[in-house]
Structure 1
Amino acid sequence: MRVFKFGGASVKDADGVKNVVKVLQEVGHDNTLVVVSAMGKTTNAMEAIVNAYFEDKSSVKTEIQDVIKYHNDILAALFVNGKHPIFNKIKILFDEVQGFLAWNKSPHYNFVYDQVVGYGELVSTTIISAYLNEVGLKNNWLDVRELIKTDDSYRDTVVDWKRTQENISKIVDQKILNITQGFLGSDNNNFTTTLGREGSDYSAAILAYCLNATSVTIWKDVPGVLNADPRYFKDTQLLNNISYREAIELAFYGASVIHPKTLQPLQGKEIPLHVKSFLNPKNRGTTVGKGVGIEPEVPCFIVKKSQVLMKLSSLDFSFIVEDSISELFKMFHDYKMKVDLIQNSAISFSVCVDNKFGRLDELLNNLKSRFKVTYQENVSLYTIRHFNAEAIESLLNGYEVLLEQRGKETVQFVIK
């Protein structure tokens, strides 16, 4: 069985949905499980609904109506018959969102987030499944929450692999075309959970692992994995082949094409990962698998924006050693700070973190009781894999370097 994953950009409008049909017709659709993200920027829009719910309840209705209109416009372009059952199915899903927000009593942002934001995927897959059936591509819609089971650490859950394997083996018919959601799972109480932002790639890998799939293909709006993000760098190059190890390194440092957690289950069963263009589905793209490290071997540039650089010093000039560092990492974990770079000396400790859960102020208040703390927000962390002097010079031209760290294959710069 093959697993395909289509992201939000590939299904952002009716033409995108029609193109999914074209891709499936060109490359085949038997014995295939298709994982689909929310349409376009729907996840951002659903996040806005959650934020309005906590900050300005009077604007919740407007935010929801904007999302409903966006999807209704896509429905109207796909289904000429306005009485098609899909219109009522989508209305029911949005009614569920509004119903949850009306009766919810939980004050916990992350819990509410997962219950609301996940409807982006439920709506997109319901529309796409119906349209595929309409044009003759018969398929089975699956609720991924019945397949992938997790703990209840909402917004960044941990997969229960044993139960997930049992569910997938029991529920998924591998002989037909199946459509399901990325990003989602459910906990022991059957509340919706999410696997982290951009987690649909990880969903595809989980499903592929449990199905012993022959391959996973991620369909993107780029020709494959490039050596740099074209939004920030010029003259990017396509990487034809990447080893699992190299891809994991790139993902760890923040390469946005492949989700960091995606590669581990695939490597475990040596399932090849293809990254291909949904605009040119017959083109080769990039293959991640066993073998050559990276081909062609060129410098790879990775940037992470909106980082926080902190420098911590002991208040009494004592050494920062194992006990102190252990305590620090526990705090980073407790406040959900993703640590992207560390550097320490005898009495100081520098760290670059991603404040994606917005808990920096809480962390700083805790740290200042134990350490002298200086910090800078909105810095950028640049990483170059397989660097050379020319690559470094092209990157640093005109920028102020706040921190530098070099290894044999990798150099990193924190830049303001």
Structure 2
Amino acid sequence: MIVSKFGGTSVGSYAAMQHSASIVAAEPDRKLVVISATSGTTNDLVALGNSELSYTEREEILMRIEKRHLEIIEQLKDGEEVDKQVRLLLTELRQHLEQIARDKRWKDHLVAFGELLSTRIFTQVLGEAGVEVEWLDARDMMKTDSHFGQADPDLKVIKKKCAKYVQSGKRYLTQGFIGSDIFGNTTTLGRGGSDLSASLFAEAVEADMLEIWTDVAGIYTTDPRVVPAARPIHEITFDEAAELSVFGGKVLHPATLKPAMRGGVKVRVASSSEPNKKGTVIVHEAGDAPVIRALSLRKHQTLLTVKSLDMLHQYGYLAKLFQVLANHKISVDLVSTSEVSVSLTLDTAVSASNKVELTSEVVTELESFCELKIEKDFSLIAMIGNNLNNTAGISGKLFNMLKGYNIRMVCHGSSENNVCFLVNQEDGEEILQLLHKEFIED
């Protein structure tokens, strides 16, 4: 059994939907198809959540959403029924905007319209391609807590619900990104959550393979937009791919791989516009294990340094520090400690629905027991590979190459799969190009 997820660009137009439908049709084992909103729709829906929009601005966005979907329907052979369904959803969207509430619960329900619209249309596109599917509302299966905007899935309940709704031998189409809590409120898994949805479904139905169909032909050795010489990786281990996704690889959502790894599900990343290309298969053990497999760059990093003499030979201080961050749902990446200070990196890259923020409340709470220094505009570079903690000469070669640059923090030895360091943001791309040429191209 294969679970296939198609991203926004893969369903962003009628032609893109046709490409994706032909991929589903080509393999009978693609039994569960998971779809994102059409490209650009989620951003538009997030923009609609701004209570300060004028009437004209709101109408412009609504018309853009309507036009995007109705243009696809106009090209269908028989779009009468789906046209009714989509117009009804668009009416419900307008009615939702009239509600006064602007809390996270309201916003989660708002952004869910994107996936509901795209799957209604894609059901018809699949039917016209000879693939009969049953449309499922993901909210009936993807059960989560009530942390709106970034809900945590309930794995046991998801498995039970999938067993109820997904029957052997049938084909199904459902939405990524959205779910519901125990009260029936719509929740979302955060931006990029469609990948996570597909992975959770793959684990729950015990699929053999999870396919992530996107606009790139697999995972590359680094970002081709920064390094034109970057090349596709045909096979990579789960450990390597997990490190790469966490530290800036944009092909996979960082949380995607966990459910697949737990469930023993292979993952394949491929291009929906070039389905004949090999793509990247993620496995537990790869045929080769190079010391450096890939490089990643993540911009807009914040360096948080806390200092206190109370740390000296005292227990519980770090627990107190991390508890404050945990209480405010702030995730930490790199950590470096001395006797009286701790430095942490935070990913503060701009994200519409999941932005790490050091609010005044967090700062005040931290300053009650330590001195605080906040520095911004750094880039985090990660070298991903194998046996890095036991390979002689890597650090020496790295630091010799970067002797002309200022390195603020280094994490090496905690993982055999990565070496990470922090540099000034303006140096990030230049350093990435230098390292790729030395460690991968040469």
Aligned to 1:331: 324
| Shift of residue 34, structure 1, vs aligned partner | 0.8
Q: Compare 222-231 and 398-407 and name the one that shifted more.
A: 398-407
| Cα distance in 2, alignment partners of residues 228 and 137 from structure 1 | 36
Does the CA contact (< 8 Å) of 1:11 and 1:40 recur in 2?
yes
Asked if the contact 2:24/2:30 (under 8 Å) is kept, the reply is no
Separation in structure 2 between the aligned mates of residue 121 and residue 327 of structure 1, nearest angstrom: 40
- Contact 1:239–1:296 under 8 Å retained in 2: no
Gapped regions of structure 2 (runs ≥ 5): 349-353, 389-393, 425-442
CA displacement, residues 168-213 of structure 1 (integer Å, 9 cap, x when unaligned) = 1111133132111111111011111111211111111111111111
Looking at structure 1, the residues matched to 45 and 400 of structure 2 have their Cα atoms a distance apart, in angstroms, of 39
Q: 1:357 to 1:57 in 2, by over 3 A?
A: farther
> 2:68 and 2:398 mapped to 1: Cα distance?
44
| Residues 340-393 of structure 1: CA deviation (Å, up to 9, x unaligned) | 111111111111112343532332233233322221223221111237479847
Which residue identity does 2:337 align to in structure 1? N
Aligned pair 1:381/2:380, yes or no? Answer: yes
Instruction: Choose 337-346 or 246-255, whichever is displaced more.
Output: 246-255
Q: Which segment is superposed worse, 359-368 or 209-218? A: 359-368
Counterpart-to-counterpart distance in 2, 1:375 and 1:293: 44
Q: Give the AA of the match of 1:367.
A: L
Pairs aligned (count): 408
Aligned residue number for residue 406 of structure 1: 412
Deviation of 1:16 (Å): 0.8
Whole-Å separation in 2 of the counterparts to 1:233 and 1:396:
18
Using the alignment, how far apart are the partners of 2:126 and 2:285 within structure 1?
37
Q: Given that residues 299 and 391 in structure 1 are in contact (C-alpha distance below 8 angstroms), is that contact kept between their aligned partners in structure 2?
A: no
Match of 1:84 in 2: 80
Counterpart for residue 73 of structure 1: 71
Letter of the 2:72 counterpart: I
Work out the CA distance in 2 between the residues paired with 1:138 and 1:410.
45
Instruction: Give, as a single letter, the amino acid of the residue that structure 2 aligns with 1:2.
Output: I
Report if aligned partners of 1:3, 1:217 keep a CA contact under 8 Å in 2.
Answer: yes
Q: Distance in 1 between matches of 2:326 and 2:256?
A: 21
Equivalent residue for 1:291, pick from 285, 294, 305: 285
Measure the CA separation in 2 of the matches of 1:395 and 1:119.
Answer: 50
Contact 2:346 2:356 (C-alpha < 8 Å) held by counterparts: no
Contact 1:240/1:295 (8 A) holds in 2: no
Asked if residue 7 in structure 1 is aligned to residue 7 in structure 2, the reply is yes
1:266 pairs with one of 256, 260, 270: 260
**Compared CA separation, residues 346 and 163, structure 1 to 2 (3 A):** same
- 1:297: Cα distance to partner? 5.3
Q: Which residue of 1 aligns with 2:430?
A: none
Match in the other structure for 1:360? 358
The SS at the match of 1:126 is helix
SS in 1 for 2:332: strand
Q: What do you get for the CA RMSD once the two structures are aligned?
A: 2.6
Residues 104-119 of structure 1: matches in 2 within 5 Å? 104-105=100-101, 107-108=102-103, 110-119=104-113
Q: Is the 8 A contact 2:151 2:188 kept in 1?
A: yes
**Matched residue type, 1:42:** T
Structure 2 distance, partners of 1:313, 1:195, is 35
- Counting only pairs closer than 5 Å after superposition, residues 207-226 of structure 1 correspond to structure 2 as 207-226=201-220
TM-score, normalization by structure 1: 0.89
